[in-house]
Amino acid sequence: MTAAPQSKPLLKFRFNRQLWQRFVEIAQPYFYPPGARSSTQFLFLILTQLVFVVAFTFFFVVALALIGFQFSPKFFAGLVNEIIYLKFLSSLGKSSVEIFQNLLTFLPAYIFLVLLILSSGIFYAYRRKLRGRERQWLVLGLLLFLAFIVSSLNVLISYVFRFIDNALNGRDPKVFWEFLWVYGITLVVAIPILIAYRYTRRKLALFWREWLTNMLLKDYFSNRAYYELDSNAANTDIDNPDQRMTEDVNSFTTTILDLILDILDSVLDLVAFTGILYSISTELTFGLVGYVSIASIMALWIGTKLIKINFNQLRLEGDFRYGMVHVRDNAESIAFYRGENLELGNVEGRFARAIRNYDLLIIWIALLDIFQYAYKYFARLVPYLIVAPLYFAKKVDFGTIGQGIFAFQMVLSALSIIPTRIQDISSFTASIERLGTLYERFRQRETKDFAGNEGIIVSPANHFKVDGLTLNTPNAEQTLIQNLSFELAPAQSLLVVGSSGCGKSSLLRAIAGLWRNGTGTIESPDYTQTLFLPQKPYMLLGTLRAQLQYPNLRANITDAEIQSALVRVNLENLTTRMGGLDTEKDWAAVLSQGEQQRLAFARILLSQPKYVILDEATSALDVTNERRLYELLQSQDISYISVGHRPSLVDYHQTVLDLRPDRDRSWQLLAAEDYQFAS
């Protein structure tokens, strides 16, 4: 995890083609495999599923209407007279046989049936491409179906209130109580459907988050991408990748479904209620469209500002969190230096930048609130101003007023998706940008690796060989080693020495394939046969057993083997002292540096690699323990390369590579017995 440079300029984000492409790159793979023309096919399948759901919903609504006739024939007779695609049910007193015969002569029924069969056939034809993705399509189809049902229930409720208002106006208690019962039954049916709709949305978002996070994690840990995105590498332009794969993925998957399904709900409500609104007043309909259009333009202008501020807030929050984690990870070093005041200033500076940006954010949110409240409350006056004169002129009945206001609010809500959700859209856009750049970096690495365009060519072998190596720092600002060549036969050992900063550890990084900025070729054993011991051993989160077995090059390591290895590295009492092999502790804090280095040598004995690379792996040990460990290493018939400063290390190696820049040559390769450390 690394923080982005504070001076890094912010980009300006807009709703453009690049943003759409990044959205598709992130969203599509969950539903459809990427490839040539895959985006077009993905959108085609989305439309196909929408067609399937529309056709299925038609027959479902017809079935519900037939059931409704059994409970409240008067209400449903009035209802189907108002809805064009249910008018074949309109005549009261018809038997089920007559209604079924009408359905057989109703042309839209055949159209919906053909669409249902055709869309099912299309999905069957794509079954191989969708293999492994059946769950998400089924859940998405269920969501679309529930969205249609919820919209249909809203239409039903609008007519219930219209008939209730007319019964009140006509002082007809019998009709009033009958429709009130209809409303109660409708609520009993509607509430579970609405809850199921909301639950399914969250469930699909959870499935999607799990899949997308796992995909990014695989990319992150593939080919050491996590190393290239670390602050030690050149590619530090991707700030806080951990935050992007946790918070941004969660925001993306949750918000995308909310927005897309809210847009779908809005479209359905728009189609359903615009007809009702238009039948009441054309002036009201067109006035509403103009009112919302102007508001949407203003909301987009405010949203453009919010996108940039939201993106900056995500980055600054990540920087602040990283500063706190950095203090936690280096608490002992900071305490030794008494550097708490400097660290406090650093963390406070990061926090202050986040606060300043958040202060700007809440100012713009306040401006957005002013706009949204004014937009909301002024809109409530419009239907009264238009529908009331129509009622006074006796052009509409009393129930039409309530239904008109309800329809107006539904259409207003449908058209107001941008003005009312601009803050969510802004945050969502920032998440797309951050996830999109991370996803593109992973894809660029895959393309680069596949094309073989690396500067230093690293290939597998059963030995170490370096030929004509010129090694640069990752940012290419400095050349560390020039034209280096050597070969290490199996069971041979090499000691790399030199002054600080001459490139000793960097050479090990190049041999391990971590640094490839430069020229030349490197042949090195496969990583499954090689074990690397850094100066500060890696202590993973887990049990003592897991520490010793890491990185699991061998399976089925027995407790007796583990205890024997601990005895040989002079840690025979460690298991007893720590409470057993299955004890979990913060090992980096519990064990001293010397104990950690000896534990790392125990990993060699247990993993039994053929090759070992040691980067000052005994720097915290006394000479006696160092001798003991290297003698163990020599007894294992292992080929190894060491980096170190101590003259005593020469005794355990056959060859010495001297990288001291103050010699006549930039490097020298000597037999161990011929080499002497400079005073």
d(C-alpha 163, C-alpha 402), whole Å: 10
pLDDT digit string, tens, across residues 111-131: 888 999 999 999 999 999 999
665: closest CA among 400, 484, 417? Answer: 484
Sort strands 464-472 and 479-488 into parallel, antiparallel or unpaired: antiparallel
Q: Is 253 exposed, middle or buried (0-12, 13-18, 19+ CB in 10 A)?
A: buried
d(C-alpha 363, C-alpha 371), whole Å: 13
Hey, is 240 helix, strand or coil? coil
Which tokens hold the place of 413? 């809500």
Q: Is 80 exposed, middle or buried (0-12, 13-18, 19+ CB in 10 A)?
A: buried
pLDDT given at position 614: 92
Query: What secondary structure, in 3-state letters, does 118-149 show?
Result: HHHHHHHHCCCCCCCCHHHHHHHHHHHHHHHH
Residues forming a β-bridge with 531: 612
Hey, is 423 helix, strand or coil? helix
pLDDT given at position 118: 95
Query: What secondary structure, in 3-state letters, does 403-420 show?
Result: HHHHHHHHHHHHHCHHHH
b (16+ CB within 10 A) / e for 411-434: bbbbbbbbbbbbbbbbbbbbbbbb
Q: What is the DSSP string of 479-494?
A: EEEEEEEEEE-TT-EE
pLDDT given at position 273: 66
Q: Write the single-letter amino acid at 596.
A: Q
Q: Is 493 exposed, middle or buried (0-12, 13-18, 19+ CB in 10 A)?
A: buried
Mean pLDDT by 10 residues, the chain (679 residues): 40 60 85 86 91 86 71 63 57 55 71 91 92 91 88 76 73 75 80 90 90 89 77 59 84 81 73 66 70 72 74 82 82 75 87 90 81 71 71 72 70 66 70 82 67 72 88 77 86 86 85 84 85 87 86 79 93 91 87 92 90 90 92 88 89 88 71 77
Domains and CATH numbers, the chain: 17-32+133-449 (1.20.1560.10), 458-674 (3.40.50.300)
Query: What secondary structure, in 3-state letters, does 527-568 show?
Result: HHHEEEECCCCCCCCCEHHHHHHCCCCCCCCCHHHHHHHHHH
Contact (CB, 8 A) for 493 and 499: no
551 prior amide bond cis, ω within 30: yes
| Angle between helix 381-392 and 282-329 (nearest 10) | 160
Side-chain-side CA neighbours of 86 within 13 Å: the count stands at 24
What is the signed CA dihedral for 294, 295, 297, 301, rounded to 10 degrees? 140
pLDDT digit string, tens, across residues 311-336: 788 788 888 888 888 888 777 677 77
pTM, full prediction: 0.67
